[in-house]
Structure 1
Amino acid sequence: MKRLFLAAACALAFAAPAVQVEAWGNTGHRLIGMAAVRALPEDLPAFLRSPEAAAEIGELSREPDRWKGGGQPHDRERDTAHFVDMDDEGRIMNDKGMSIDALPRLKSEYDAALQSAGIDVDDAGYLPYAIMDAWQQLVRDLAYVRVLTAQANREIDPGKKAWYLADLRRREALTLRDLGVLSHYIGDGSQPHHTSIHYNGWGDYPNPEGFTNSRQTHGLFEGAFTGRVASLQAVEAGMTAPSLESFDLKRRTVAYLKTTLGTVVPFYRLEKAGGFGEVGGQPDPRGAEFTLARLSAGASELRDLTVLAWRASADVSIGWPAVKVAEVEAGTVDPWLSMIGED
């Protein structure tokens, strides 16, 4: 709950949206989404790889921040999806919380375990589950894209063909929207403050290196500073080579968040050294390098997870009665009743 009060306080304290506590602000989220889409390989569907799709994902990547303020229970079920507060050892909140490596299968089990340890689940956040849920939804979307595309291409009945094509357009729009949601949470996961108990200043913890406790730290970094140093070309230039082997969703999500947690202390050391200030009237290049590395990490992860979702979508079943995507693509099953619905 303390994070939610903090976000409201920062919004009041700073009139400019760039310094509100929303991971990466608008600039960073847009760039992560756009860079990832522009880097997708040619074996993914064309509707995902167009310049229009990149621009659309850039805008939709901001969407979970734009959901805020809907009231209860809407906000409580969404606001805590943007972060997971780990201590310096990778445990949720403190030494009573579970290690991020030991995440339960379900968010409800996670909530129960934290509550039994005396930890407020609203304080802890559930970003890893938001990422995993969004990825699984993308797999479902892409599975429908596969089936609808395959059957529309071979259907000879004019009425059915028209329905398949119309439903494909609907599914493509839903896929872009859901990819934007995944982009947002991946972007949150690349921002150091969204993985740490030290989310806005070091806080009331042992502080032997004398790190800042300024409540402006988080917002000014991800908003105003990022807005000055980030560009699409720079984010793309920093993206890493694809990593697509031996995929396990939970292990991949945990490893990604732990990598970001490892940048928290380097951030505070750089902040203490003035790295997020100016040199000769320009943003300090040390801070710019750090910021771009984090944005590029988010774009790289989103690119990879999108490719992995496309691959996974070939091996699932969808619709009711359920049909196997692979069988529809092979032309051995007619999916009509499974797609349109059998009452």
Structure 2
Amino acid sequence: MKRLAVALAALTLGAAALAAPAVVSAWGNTGHRLIGVAAVRGLPGELPAFLRTPAAAAEVGELSREPDRSRGGGQPHDRERDTAHFVDMIEDGRIMTEQGMSIDALPRLKSEYDAALLAAGIKVDDAGYLPYAIMDGYQQLVRDFATWRVLYAAESRETDPGKRAWYREDRIRREALILRDMGYLGHFIGDGAQPHHTTIHYNGWNRDTPNPEGFTTSRQTHGQFEGAFTSRVARLDAVEAAMATPALDGFDLRARVPAYLKTTLAEVTPFYRLEKAGGFRDSDARGGAFVIARLAAGASELRDLFVLAWRDSADDAIGWPAVKVNEVEAGTADPWLAMYGDD
């Protein structure tokens, strides 16, 4: 495998309450929890009330770890999913090599991406497909929210007791799925905030490339940074204080995801310079600030994507035969057949 990869109070207390994981993936357990919790705690009032609770924040924090915890199922399960956690770029944003495509020019479909990589002599398993995992997770969440909107509106208006009971039960099922899918999206957004998950220098400086600044080539670099060091220095209050203001205008998913990952890619060289200067030893304040900034970047992006997915869902259509969300919410369409089905 190329990449080897509790409460809310424990997150706030930081390392004293959390044991370092024996095997770490992006951010280990601490970082992924913090990103998920901080994102949910930052949600505005326009999102449903069931999401704006301490319980929901804790649940998303835990579920943000799930794509790592599901590893070990065998093949093809592991190989197909492991490569979702990263995308290896060179410094100018091309995938893997000078012959690789720019992350700004990703094909529409992952299958087309795979084919383009192979045509350039690049193995798909080496390159990773993190941008597609993020886009897929976002689009799934839009569908979840659209379904919830329809169920919630229908439940509030339905006069037939049997139908109303079914709407309620399905809404509750959907709420559990929403938390799960928020956690999964949170995991991949968290991966995208960790510089090692955006670069060919993912575990020490790549030994097959020039290293003019003499950066470490240790194969312990990745795990020590995102696991043990992060668990010592990361605190929820610090992450929340460092989060950016929402950036919700002019949203284009296919442009935003590469821009987010390139911002993280730009932190690769600063990471290695800081590592060389001893910034990730013990609980060095310089390294701690770097960790907090990266976790806050992930939490900010995740919060924004949650909000944007909610807004996008208002203009969606769901079910079969498809029913428009805004028509159901306005009370001008009956969604029963679209939701329950007509076999």
Residue 34 of structure 2 is matched in structure 1 by: 31
Q: 1:85-234, aligned counterparts within 5 Å?
A: 85-204=88-207, 205-234=209-238
| CA drift at 1:76 | 1.2
Residue 58 of structure 2 is matched in structure 1 by: 55
| CA drift at 1:17 | 5.6
Pick one of 67, 72, 77 that aligns with 2:75: 72
Unaligned runs of 5+ in 1: 8-15
| CA drift at 1:19 | 5.7
Distance in 1 between the 2:216 and 2:22 partners? 17
Distance in 1 between the 2:140 and 2:235 partners? 29
1:18 alignment partner, SS class:
coil
Report how many aligned residue pairs link the two structures.
329
| CA drift at 1:18 | 2.7
Letter in 1 for 2:303: R
Residue 20 of structure 1 is matched in structure 2 by: 23
Residue 339 of structure 2 is matched in structure 1 by: 339
2:21 alignment partner, SS class:
helix
Runs of 4+ with deviation above 3 angstroms = none
**Quick check: 1:81–1:130 contact (8 Å CA) kept in 2?**
yes
Letter in 1 for 2:225: F
Give a deviation string over 1:138-186, Cα, whole Å, max 9, x none: 0000001100000100111111100000000000000000000000000
Distance in 2 between the 1:255 and 1:173 partners? 31
Letter in 2 for 1:234: A
Letter in 2 for 1:32: I
Pick one of 265, 269, 272 that aligns with 1:268: 272
Letter in 2 for 1:287: G
| CA drift at 1:20 | 2.8
Q: TM-score normalized by structure 1?
A: 0.95
Distance in 2 between the 1:19 and 1:216 partners? 13
| CA drift at 1:107 | 0.3
**Quick check: 1:19–1:220 contact (8 Å CA) kept in 2?**
no
**Quick check: 2:137–2:185 contact (8 Å CA) kept in 1?**
yes
Distance in 1 between the 2:86 and 2:22 partners? 17
2:167 alignment partner, SS class:
helix
Distance in 1 between the 2:96 and 2:70 partners? 26
Distance in 2 between the 1:87 and 1:342 partners? 52
Pick one of 246, 249, 262 that aligns with 1:245: 249
1:75 alignment partner, SS class:
helix
2:91 alignment partner, SS class:
coil
Distance in 2 between the 1:20 and 1:103 partners? 32
Distance in 2 between the 1:85 and 1:64 partners? 19
Q: TM-score normalized by structure 2?
A: 0.95
**1:326 has 2:329 as partner:** no
Change (3 A) 1:17 1:71: farther
Distance in 2 between the 1:19 and 1:289 partners? 24
**Quick check: 2:20–2:231 contact (8 Å CA) kept in 1?**
no
Letter in 2 for 1:134: G
**Quick check: 2:145–2:313 contact (8 Å CA) kept in 1?**
yes
Give a deviation string over 1:31-86, Cα, whole Å, max 9, x none: 00000000000110011111100000010000000111000111111000000000
Residue 42 of structure 1 is matched in structure 2 by: 45
| CA drift at 1:250 | 1.1
| CA drift at 1:21 | 3.9
Give a deviation string over 1:111-161, Cα, whole Å, max 9, x none: 000000110000000000000000000000000110000010011111110
Distance in 2 between the 1:101 and 1:137 partners? 22
Give a deviation string over 1:207-239, Cα, whole Å, max 9, x none: 000000011100000000000000111110100
Letter in 1 for 2:300: S
Letter in 2 for 1:295: L
Letter in 2 for 1:163: W
